[in-house]
């Protein structure tokens, strides 16, 4: 994974104060209000076509008047910024453009940035950076390079109103943000239940619990989703259509999850004249029925292991951003247990149906005590006609600011690192993608021992050399033995074990200057390793611009820790080495061009 994401529902972290006092507060309130308006516009963008990033743009004059607005209709259409510029016309010059999200570049022609630059916009306020790593920061850099002042919420400002505005920007693009940092689409579990917690009568009859008004809201929810999913039993009991019938926009794909494939021959879902249906089932289930479905135009996808996570990973790969789960309690419980549900939308109708066996919205989760109950976050309540709509998150929306261990020190070592934009490359185990950066990687180095003579010796790994150096130069035969034992240890793991346990059990054998020299010892060993193996040096250079973090959860000195709380000295040394190599290559390139 190249980007670490701070998962948090806590108030968003803000870096600096732009302005103080009443004047500052007024600015913040004004900026927050316009950003909220961009979010409203972006919401209009949701569900117009197959869900795509939701963009809104407002252009406001220096006197605080709205001069133009725009929102993205679909991926292949004019960007929101260009539409807002067209609407504002000559009022753009000297104005501020507000964007809920940093623009991407669907057409590869920088259309959004060009529109703002050419229109003479003076300042741009951005709610959140683009969540996708390859787009993150490019438009902001481009705007700044054109002399436009760009402020990003959460980076340049500090205030509660702006934090709230930023959060609404995260919410309006929650599916895209989830796509950027997890391998499953954003999933919403929606159900309608009676006041006594039933989603159907004991007989299984379930129409209609919620009011017509609530059901219209469900159609809108469907319209904003890539797919709606139910289980086989719901198909057998309800024969649903699962279409968005609010009269406009996009209609989601219907997905049925069924292990048995024991489904009726006649069902609304087999009519795919307007909307496709996909059945996901267990490999080998009812082959003849699969043929029947295929003849109706229904796609059948077989899974070796049919479970919500596998299914969601599959649809993520097919490009789905958001899924609405409209299943019953059995499948809902399975989906919650697999941690694929992010949000819950519950319509509670003021009705009581009773019934010992009447189904409830979530089946067995295996919990035995109320203290185990899942608590929803950011809960909202809204009355919809006679019903109460309760929504909340089971998992927080990931915040996109990378957590860089020892951020200030890192920026000092490598000024090209940007705490808001840089990707993070983690390495730890030798079989990881960048596992060769680990001290345990099997790359022997030739370094002087530092004992009586300065002869170069071969060390099977950086770890062997580093561990042995703890005991080098100590006038004690046991220390000499220890150095030799570590040098000849059969693996880096064994070398580490001997080095660490001797340090703990026989501290008198450790050289007195160890704490002062250990970073230098490691640096020399790394320099030798990366200079000896050209392919490792190339790999290190290929990470330029990224933050390197040894993701050891235990070692808070050499590693970055679980939450970025470690000092990450190994990562820092590698970045230092990388900067030195880059500097050397730019100097030699300069020399070549001047000769």
Ligand X SMILES: Nc1c(N[C@@H]2O[C@H](COP(=O)(O)O)[C@@H](O)[C@H]2O)[nH]c(=O)[nH]c1=O
Taking the complex as a whole, the smallest distance from the CB of residue 357 to ligand X amounts, in Å, to 17
569 binds, among ligand NDP, ligand X, none (CB under 5 to 8 A by kind): none
CB of 78 or CB of 351, closer to ligand NDP: 351
Q: Does 570 bind ligand NDP (CB under 6 A)?
A: no
The DSSP bridge partners found for residue 377 are 393
81 counts as catalytic: yes
CB of 326 or CB of 463, closer to ligand NDP: 326
User: What radius of gyration, in Å, describes the C-alpha atoms of the chain?
Assistant: 30
Give the number of residues in contact with ligand X, rule: CB under 6 A. Answer: 18
Q: Does 387 bind ligand X (CB under 6 A)?
A: no
Q: Does 241 bind ligand X (CB under 6 A)?
A: yes
216 binds, among ligand X, ligand NDP, none (CB under 5 to 8 A by kind): none
CA distance 582 to 562: 30
CA distance 568 to 511: 23
What are the φ and ψ backbone dihedral angles of 325, each rounded to 5 degrees? -90, 115
Q: Does 330 bind ligand NDP (CB under 6 A)?
A: yes
Q: Does 240 bind ligand X (CB under 6 A)?
A: yes
- Could you give the angle at the alpha carbon of 192 between the alpha carbons of 378 and 301, nearest 5°? 95
Taking the complex as a whole, the smallest distance from the CB of residue 210 to ligand X amounts, in Å, to 4
436 binds, among ligand X, ligand NDP, none (CB under 5 to 8 A by kind): none
Q: Does 254 bind ligand X (CB under 6 A)?
A: no
Q: Does 232 bind ligand NDP (CB under 6 A)?
A: yes
Per-residue mark of binding to ligand NDP, 276-315 (x: CB under 6 A)? ------------------------------xx--------
The DSSP bridge partners found for residue 187 are 323
Ordered DSSP codes for 15-44? ---S--HHHHHHHHHHHHHHHHHHHHHHHH
Taking the complex as a whole, the smallest distance from the CB of residue 347 to ligand X amounts, in Å, to 6
Out of 31, 81, 158, 238, name the contact with ligand NDP by CB under 6 A. Answer: 238
CA distance 200 to 256: 19
Ordered DSSP codes for 146-157? TT-EEEETTTT-
Give the binding range for ligand X (CB under 6 A) out of 2-10, 68-76, 202-210, 553-561. 202-210
Cβ pair 448, 457 in contact under 8 A? yes
Site for ligand X in 450-509 (CB under 6 A): none
Count of Cβ atoms closer than 10 Å to residue 442 Cβ: 11
- Catalytic residue selected from 69, 81, 102, 142: 81
Out of 146, 211, 259, 430, name the contact with ligand NDP by CB under 6 A. Answer: 259
Out of 82, 165, 230, 278, name the contact with ligand NDP by CB under 6 A. Answer: 230
186 binds, among ligand NDP, ligand X, none (CB under 5 to 8 A by kind): none
Three-state DSSP at 189 gives strand
The DSSP bridge partners found for residue 65 are none
CA distance 303 to 314: 10
Q: Does 270 bind ligand NDP (CB under 6 A)?
A: no
Q: Does 256 bind ligand X (CB under 6 A)?
A: no
Out of 50, 95, 182, 234, name the contact with ligand NDP by CB under 6 A. Answer: 234
Out of 76, 134, 202, 208, name the contact with ligand X by CB under 6 A. Answer: 208
Using the structure block, give the residue that is written with the tokens 């229904």. Answer: 298
Buried b vs exposed e over 533-542: b needs ≥16 C-beta within 10 Å? beebbeebee
Q: Does 187 bind ligand NDP (CB under 6 A)?
A: no
Write out the H or E segment, with its range, that includes residue 382.
strand 377-384
Q: What is the largest CA-CA distance in the chain?
A: 90
Residues 6+ positions from 586 with CB-CB distance below 8 Å: none
56 binds, among ligand NDP, ligand X, none (CB under 5 to 8 A by kind): none
Give the binding range for ligand X (CB under 6 A) out of 7-15, 172-180, 212-220, 330-338. 212-220
Give the closest residue to 187 by CA, choosing from 7, 367, 308.
308
CA distance 167 to 176: 14
Three-state DSSP at 186 gives strand
For residue 170 the two structure tokens come to: 């995260």
CB of 262 or CB of 493, closer to ligand NDP: 262
Residues that bind ligand X (CB under 6 A): 192, 206-210, 214-215, 218, 230, 234, 238, 240-243, 326, 347
Residues that bind ligand NDP (CB under 6 A): 191-192, 199-200, 204, 206, 209, 230-234, 237-238, 257-260, 262, 306-307, 326-331, 334, 359
């Amino acid at each position: 994974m190249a980007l670490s994401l701070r998962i948090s529902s806590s108030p968003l972290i803000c870096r600096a104060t732009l302005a103080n006092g009443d004047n500052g507060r007024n600015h913040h309130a004004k900026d927050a209000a316009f950003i909220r308006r961009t979010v409203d516009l972006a919401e209009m963008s949701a569900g117009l076509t197959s869900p795509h990033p939701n963009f809104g743009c407002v252009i406001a004059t220096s006197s605080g008047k709205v001069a133009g607005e725009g929102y993205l209709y679909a991926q292949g259409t004019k960007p929101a910024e260009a539409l807002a510029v067209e609407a504002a016309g000559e009022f753009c010059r000297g104005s501020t453009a507000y964007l809920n999200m940093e623009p991407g570049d669907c057409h590869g022609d920088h259309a959004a940035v060009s529109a703002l630059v050419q229109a003479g916009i003076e300042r741009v306020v951005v709610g959140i950076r683009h969540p996708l790593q390859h787009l993150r920061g490019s438009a902001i850099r481009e705007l700044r390079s054109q002399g436009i002042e760009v402020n990003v919420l959460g980076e340049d400002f500090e205030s509660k109103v702006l934090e709230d505005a930023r959060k609404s920007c995260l919410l309006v693009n929650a599916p895209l943000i989830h796509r950027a940092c997890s391998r499953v689409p954003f999933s919403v579990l929606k159900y309608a239940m009676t006041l006594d917690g039933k989603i159907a009568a004991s007989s299984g009859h379930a129409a209609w619990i919620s009011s017509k008004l609530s059901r219209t809201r469900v159609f809108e929810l469907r319209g904003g989703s890539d797919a709606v999913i139910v289980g086989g039993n719901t198909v057998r009991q309800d024969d649903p259509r699962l279409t968005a019938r609010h009269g406009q926009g996009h209609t989601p794909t219907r997905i049925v999850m069924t292990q048995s494939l024991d489904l009726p021959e006649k069902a609304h879902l087999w009519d795919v004249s307007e909307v496709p249906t996909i059945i996901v089932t267990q490999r080998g289930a009812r082959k003849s029925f699969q043929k029947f479905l295929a003849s109706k135009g229904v796609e059948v996808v077989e899974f070796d292991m049919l479970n919500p996570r596998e299914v969601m990973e599959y649809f993520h790969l097919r490009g789905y951003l958001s899924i609405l789960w409209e299943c019953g309690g059995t499948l809902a419980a399975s989906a919650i247990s697999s941690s694929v549900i992010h949000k819950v939308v519950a319509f509670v109708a003021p009705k009581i149906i009773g019934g010992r066996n009447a189904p409830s919205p979530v089946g067995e989760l295996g919990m035995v005590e109320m203290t185990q109950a899942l608590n929803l976050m950011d809960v909202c309540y809204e009355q919809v006609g006679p019903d109460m709509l309760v929504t909340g998150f089971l998992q927080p929306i990931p915040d996109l600011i990378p957590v860089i261990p020892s951020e200030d020190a890192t920026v000092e070592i490598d000024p090209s690192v940007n705490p808001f934009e840089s990707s993070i490359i983690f390495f730890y185990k030798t079989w990881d993608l960048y596992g060769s950066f680990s001290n345990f990687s099997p790359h022997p180095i030739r370094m002087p021992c530092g004992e009586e003579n300065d002869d170069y010796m071969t060390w099977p790994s950086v770890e062997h050399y580093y561990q042995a150096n703890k005991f080098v130069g100590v006038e004690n035969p046991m220390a000499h033995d220890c150095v030799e034992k570590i040098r000849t240890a059969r693996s880096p793991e064994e070398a580490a074990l001997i080095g660490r346990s001797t340090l703990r059990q026989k501290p008198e054998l450790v050289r007195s200057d160890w704490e002062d020299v250990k970073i230098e010892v490691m640096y020399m060993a790394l320099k030798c390793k990366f200079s000896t193996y050209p392919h490792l040096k190339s790999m290190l250079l290929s990470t330029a611009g990224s933050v390197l973090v040894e993701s050891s959860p235990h070692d808070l000195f050499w590693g970055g820790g679980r939450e970025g709380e470690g000092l990450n000295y190994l990562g820092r040394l590698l970045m230092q080495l990388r900067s030195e190599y880059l500097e050397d290559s730019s100097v030699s390139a300069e020399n070549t061009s001047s000769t």
